[in-house]
Amino acid sequence: MKQQRIWMFVVVMTALLVMACGGKRQSSERASRIMEVAYKSKDYGRVLQLADSLYASGDLASAEAYYWRGYACDRMKKKRMAEFYFKTAIETASESSDKASVDVYAKAASRLASLLSVRGDYEGTLKTAEPVAQRLEELKADTTSDYVNLLIYIGCCQSATKDKKDATDGFNRAYQKHLDNIGKKHNDAAYKDAFAGLLNIVYYCNYVKNYEASISWIDRFGELLGQYEHMPGTNPDYVDKQLGRFDIYRAIALEGMNKKEEAAKVFEAFRKTHFSTTPEGRIMANDYLIAAKRWDEAADNYSSLDALLAEQQDPYTIDNIRDLLLKKYQANQLAGRRDTAVAVSLQICNSLEDAFEKDRIIDAEEQTTVVEKVEQLNEAKAADNHRRQLGLMGLLALVFLAFIVFTIYRRIAVSRQAKAFKRLKKDFAQLKEDTTRRVSEESTHRIADEVQQLVMPTQLPQHAKLSMRSALIPAKGIGTTIYDCVIRDGRLFMMMGDAAGSEVQALAMLASVKAQFRTAMALETSVERIVSAVDLALSDGRQSGGSMALFVGVLDLSTGQFDYCNAGHQAPLLVGETITPLPVEQQSPVGLQSGATYEAQTVDLPSGTLLLLYSAGLIESVNAEQQVFGEKRLMGDALQASKLNPAPKPFVESILQSLSRFTGDAGQQKDITMLAVRYSG
Segment 387-407, tens digit of pLDDT: 667 777 777 788 878 778 878
Segment 585-601, tens digit of pLDDT: 654 455 777 767 888 99
Q: Could you tell me which of 54, 259, 433, 513 has the C-alpha nearest to residue 267?
A: 259
Position with higher pLDDT, 398 vs 490: 490
The 3-state DSSP class for residue 677 equals strand
Q: Are 611 and 677 in contact (CB under 8 A)?
A: yes
Q: Which of 279-283, 313-317, 448-452 has the highest mean pLDDT?
A: 279-283
Q: pLDDT at position 11, please?
A: 42
Q: pLDDT at position 153, please?
A: 82
How would you class 68 by CB atoms within 10 Å of its CB: exposed for 0-12, middle for 13-18, buried for 19 or more?
A: buried
The 3-state DSSP class for residue 83 equals helix
Q: pLDDT at position 2, please?
A: 46
- Residue 10 reports pLDDT greater than 60: no
Q: Could you tell me which of 595, 581, 574 has the C-alpha nearest to residue 642?
A: 574
CA 291 – CA 256 distance, rounded (Å): 8
CA 639 – CA 641 distance, rounded (Å): 5
What's the average model confidence in pLDDT over 173-199?
87
Partner residues linked to 469 by β-bridges: 676
Q: Are 303 and 335 in contact (CB under 8 A)?
A: no
What's the average model confidence in pLDDT over 554-581?
92
Q: pLDDT at position 163, please?
A: 55
Q: How many CB atoms lie within 10 A of CB 312?
A: 10
Q: How does residue 657 score in pLDDT terms, banded at 50, 70 and 90?
A: very high
CA 547 – CA 555 distance, rounded (Å): 26
Position with higher pLDDT, 453 vs 672: 672
Segment 271-308, tens digit of pLDDT: 999 998 998 888 888 888 888 889 888 888 788 777 77
Q: pLDDT at position 27, please?
A: 62
Q: Could you tell me which of 613, 610, 605, 611 has the C-alpha nearest to residue 681?
A: 605
Q: Are 290 and 298 in contact (CB under 8 A)?
A: yes
Segment 141-156, tens digit of pLDDT: 887 888 888 888 887 7
Q: How does residue 55 score in pLDDT terms, banded at 50, 70 and 90?
A: confident
Q: How does residue 13 score in pLDDT terms, banded at 50, 70 and 90?
A: very low
Position with higher pLDDT, 310 vs 383: 310
- Residue 188 reports pLDDT greater than 70: yes
What's the average model confidence in pLDDT over 160-175?
73
Domains and CATH numbers, the chain: 1-74 (no CATH), 94-208 (1.25.40), 458-679 (3.60.40.10)
Question: How much of the chain exceeds pLDDT 70, in percent?
Answer: 81
Q: pLDDT at position 648, please?
A: 95
Segment 622-642, tens digit of pLDDT: 988 889 999 999 999 999 999
Q: Could you tell me which of 213, 199, 294, 207 has the C-alpha nearest to residue 247?
A: 199
Q: What is the 3-state secondary structure (H, E, C) of 273-341?
A: CCHHHCHHHHHHHHHHHHHCCCHHHHHHHHHHHHHHHHCCCCCCCHHHHHHHHHHHHHHHHHCCCHHHH
* DSSP strands (E only) in 3-91: none
CA 107 – CA 89 distance, rounded (Å): 9
CB under 8 Å, gap of 24 or more: what pairs does 375-384 form?
377/88
Position with higher pLDDT, 538 vs 532: 532
CA 180 – CA 188 distance, rounded (Å): 14
Q: How does residue 355 score in pLDDT terms, banded at 50, 70 and 90?
A: low
The 3-state DSSP class for residue 672 equals strand
Q: pLDDT at position 247, please?
A: 92
pTM (two decimals): 0.47
Q: pLDDT at position 541, please?
A: 59
- Residue 477 reports pLDDT greater than 70: no
Q: Could you tell me which of 262, 239, 240, 235 has the C-alpha nearest to residue 251?
A: 262
Q: pLDDT at position 364, please?
A: 60
Least confident of 148-152, 613-617, 649-653: 148-152
Q: pLDDT at position 274, please?
A: 93
Mean pLDDT of the chain: 81
Position with higher pLDDT, 422 vs 644: 644
Position with higher pLDDT, 351 vs 371: 351
CA 330 – CA 336 distance, rounded (Å): 10
